[in-house]
A = this chain, B = another copy of it.
Amino acid sequence: MAGKKVLIVYAHQEPKSFNGSLKKVAVEELSKQGCTVTVSDLYSMNFEPRATRNDITGALSNPEVFSYGIETHEAYKKKALTSDILEEQRKVQEADLVIFQFPLYWFSVPAILKGWMDRVLCRGFAFDIPGFYDSGFLKGKLALLSLTTGGTAEMYTKDGISGDFRYFLWPLQHGTLHFCGFKVLAPQISFGLDVSSEEEKKVMLASWAQRLKSIWKEEPIHCTPPWYFQE
């Protein structure tokens, strides 16, 4: 939709990968709509995943016993977070929609993307206590997980060997995105890359492009227990 701003947080090492193609398709389709699209290409940025004292510039409020949560909260208020965090926070703040594009690693995001969440979504910026879930500070924004799996869709069903895909998405969709106030759109899951033909991959790419055409009309999913596990 013309005028909307989209941030794509992208975590794949290889531009020629299927994840790279999904990202490219999203940039093209959303740009065509007149959206402003920004990409944080985490591997090419060599984004720092480790949550350490280096994230705070200047003095600590308690140099004796380091608490990452306390110190980054204080540093956020004093504008003393390191510049790579501030830059990502600025991108999130401007975005109407944040798309996370990644391959599933151990039922979750790759560590480089987990580090983005750990470091960028800090207290004061993304939430406070109180000030989380429906009153999280990123309320009014949309988020969407677009991921690829090696395993097939059948494996990720309620009675499948890996359980319903909603189960592994819970920490991300509820525990992270909803916690920060995002309204979460249905995930885009490209299943079974290990066993997909080139033709099947083309179909998956086309269906992502097609979905994006009407993405701004979508209703968010329910992220609150116990509904989440019943849908």
Contacts and interface: CB of A to CB of B under 8 A. Distances in A.
Given A111-B115, A117-B106, A118-B110, A65 B170 contact: no
Interface in A138-195: 150, 158-164, 167-168, 170-172, 174-176, 179, 194
A67 interface: yes
Interface stretch (A78-86, A199-207, A222-230): A222-230
Contact of A159 (B114, B171, B225): B225
A16 B159 contact: no
Task: Give me the 8 closest cross-chain CB pairs, A-B, nearest first.
Answer: A107-B175, A107-B171, A111-B115, A49-B111, A163-B225, A111-B114, A49-B49, A14-B66
Contacts of A51: 13, 105, 110-112
Interface residues of A, number: 56
A160 B133 CA distance: 13
A215 to B, nearest CB: 25
A169 B69 CA distance: 21
Nearest to A177: B106
Nearest to A50: B112
Considering residues A68, A106, A112, A161, which has the most beta carbons from chain B within 10 angstroms of its beta carbon? A106
Contacts of A68: 13
Given A49-B49, A167-B225, 14 more contacts: A13-B51, A16-B65, A17-B65, A46-B50, A50-B112, A105-B118, A107-B175, A108-B114, A159-B225, A163-B228, A167-B170, A167-B229, A168-B170, A168-B175
A64 interface: yes
Contacts of A16: 64-65
A121 interface: yes
Nearest to A173: B107
A4 to B, nearest CB: 26
A150 B51 CA distance: 17
A53 B13 contact: yes
Contact of A170 (B17, B107, B161): B107
